[in-house]
């Protein structure tokens, strides 16, 4: 099995059968071998730098009904909120002073925020902070919408593909959402010129090794700038309330594989990873991740943007997320940097 890791390290690629063999036969010793290589590749490409993104959760209204997600339309108990443009700009201002040079606008698919409203927000942020990158994460839009956001100054877009296996996709989403459209959106975003991030949940209900192999093959084909993966965590108000969460162990193993597949990819150690284990994000960094996304949302809305149960950094004490993050990264020998943190291919 170590030969497979050597091959992945040397060629950045394995066959579908080889990925399956590697995942199915993993064990602690093999994981240590993989993660050591992933760390080395990460350090070769990005040193010990950790890029930070200020996450602004600007709306939890959503037209969709994804079975796994706590802010799905049918969750009557979600306390819905929207930030105003002024509130969003206040988050940016506070974030800029703290050293953030990327702002991520993430939210549900909220019809209140028309393309024109989003364009106005992007323009305002880029006018006030021309040295910052704006990342959008607001789901599936038309080609024209994506194009207009890009023209308004948006730099990056995060749209997890969720699962590359069409049958599996059907088990996680209602009929109105399609795996083909999800993937098409990612190709559209790339074509327009965004730095693009895809990704999936680890251990989502009904996920098999075959699904994960499909995910890896899709990632290789899309060749994104970023890949966001984190464990699935159940939310009590969803149809998946009683499903099992994904594991730390498999998430770290997959982070390692993705680092070897795409040596210079931007790879976040996600909030979900920090939620299933107190040192999840530190361990993610040690598995080859190089990005963290501290929460910049106003403290009074954080407990409302609940995609899953027990989400960290939602209490009143969480205002100083960045300071906590700096310490966490230093504790494993890495350093948060003040920079846009673009992909290496961007000059």
- At closest approach, how far in Å is the CB of 25 from ligand SAH? 26
Minimum CB distance to ligand SAH smaller for 58 or for 253? 58
Minimum CB distance to ligand SAH smaller for 15 or for 187? 187
Minimum CB distance to ligand SAH smaller for 37 or for 235? 235
Residue with tokens 């091959």, as numbered in its chain: 7
* Rg (the chain; Cα; Å): 19
CB of 221 within 8 A of CB of 14?
no
How far apart are alpha carbons 310 and 220 in whole angstroms? 32
CA distances from 244 to 92, 158, 240 (A): 36, 26, 9
Helix (H) or strand (E) holding 158: strand 156-158
Minimum CB distance to ligand SAH smaller for 22 or for 91? 91
- Chain residues binding ligand SAH by CB under 6 A are 68-69, 106, 108-109, 137-139, 159-160, 162, 201, 230, 232-233, 235, 272, 307-308
CA distances from 62 to 75, 176, 206 (A): 10, 14, 24
Q: Angle 28-46/248-261 helices, nearest 10 degrees?
A: 50
- At closest approach, how far in Å is the CB of 282 from ligand SAH? 19
CB neighbours of 41 closer than 8 A, spacing ≥ 6? 9, 259, 260, 263, 288
- At closest approach, how far in Å is the CB of 260 from ligand SAH? 22
Residue number, nearest CB to ligand SAH: 139
Hey, what are 314's tokens? Answer: 């939602």
Hey, what are 91's tokens? Answer: 């988050």
Minimum CB distance to ligand SAH smaller for 22 or for 272? 272
- At closest approach, how far in Å is the CB of 53 from ligand SAH? 13
- At closest approach, how far in Å is the CB of 166 from ligand SAH? 17
Minimum CB distance to ligand SAH smaller for 26 or for 160? 160
CB neighbours of 78 closer than 8 A, spacing ≥ 6? 60, 70, 71, 237, 304, 306
Minimum CB distance to ligand SAH smaller for 106 or for 290? 106
* Counts of helices then strands in the chain (DSSP H, E): 14, 9
Minimum CB distance to ligand SAH smaller for 103 or for 308? 308
CA distances from 326 to 39, 111, 292 (A): 19, 36, 10
Adjacent-strand bridge partners of 228: 199
Minimum CB distance to ligand SAH smaller for 93 or for 208? 208
- At closest approach, how far in Å is the CB of 149 from ligand SAH? 14
Helices of type H across 12-64: 16-24, 28-46
- At closest approach, how far in Å is the CB of 268 from ligand SAH? 11
Hey, what are 310's tokens? Answer: 């027990």
- At closest approach, how far in Å is the CB of 57 from ligand SAH? 9
- At closest approach, how far in Å is the CB of 142 from ligand SAH? 15
């Amino acid at each position: 099995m170590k030969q497979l890791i050597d091959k992945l390290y040397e060629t950045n690629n394995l066959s579908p059968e080889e990925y399956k063999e590697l995942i199915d036969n993993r064990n602690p010793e093999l994981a240590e071998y993989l993660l050591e290589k992933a760390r080395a590749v990460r350090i070769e490409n990005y040193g010990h730098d950790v890029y930070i993104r200020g996450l602004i959760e600007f709306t939890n209204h959503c037209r969709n009904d994804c079975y796994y997600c706590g802010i799905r339309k049918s969750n009557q108990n979600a306390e819905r909120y929207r930030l105003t443009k002024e509130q969003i700009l206040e988050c940016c201002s506070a974030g800029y002073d703290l050293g953030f040079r990327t702002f991520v606008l993430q939210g549900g698919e909220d019809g209140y925020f028309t393309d024109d409203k989003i364009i106005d927000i992007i323009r305002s942020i880029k006018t006030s902070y021309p040295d910052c990158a704006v990342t959008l994460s607001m789901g599936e839009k038309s080609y024209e919408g994506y194009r207009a956001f890009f023209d308004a100054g948006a730099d990056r877009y995060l749209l997890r593909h969720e699962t590359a296996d069409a049958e599996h996709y059907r088990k996680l989403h209602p009929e109105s959402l399609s795996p083909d459209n999800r993937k098409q959106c990612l190709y559209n975003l790339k074509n327009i010129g965004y730095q693009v991030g895809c990704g999936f949940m680890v251990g989502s209900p009904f996920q098999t090794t075959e699904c994960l192999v499909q995910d890896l093959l899709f990632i290789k084909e899309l060749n994104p700038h970023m890949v966001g993966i984190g464990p699935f965590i159940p939310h009590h108000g969803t149809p998946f309330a009683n499903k099992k969460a994904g594991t730390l162990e498999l998430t770290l193993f997959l982070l390692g594989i993705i680092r070897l597949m795409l040596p210079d990819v931007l790879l976040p150690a996600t909030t979900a990873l920090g939620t299933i284990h107190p040192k999840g994000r530190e361990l993610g960094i040690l598995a080859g991740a190089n990005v963290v996304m501290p929460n910049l949302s106003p403290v009074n809305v954080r407990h409302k943007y609940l995609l899953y149960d027990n989400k960290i950094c939602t209490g009143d004490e969480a205002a100083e997320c960045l300071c906590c993050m700096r310490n966490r990264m230093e504790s494993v020998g890495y350093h948060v940097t003040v920079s846009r943190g673009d992909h290496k291919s961007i000059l």
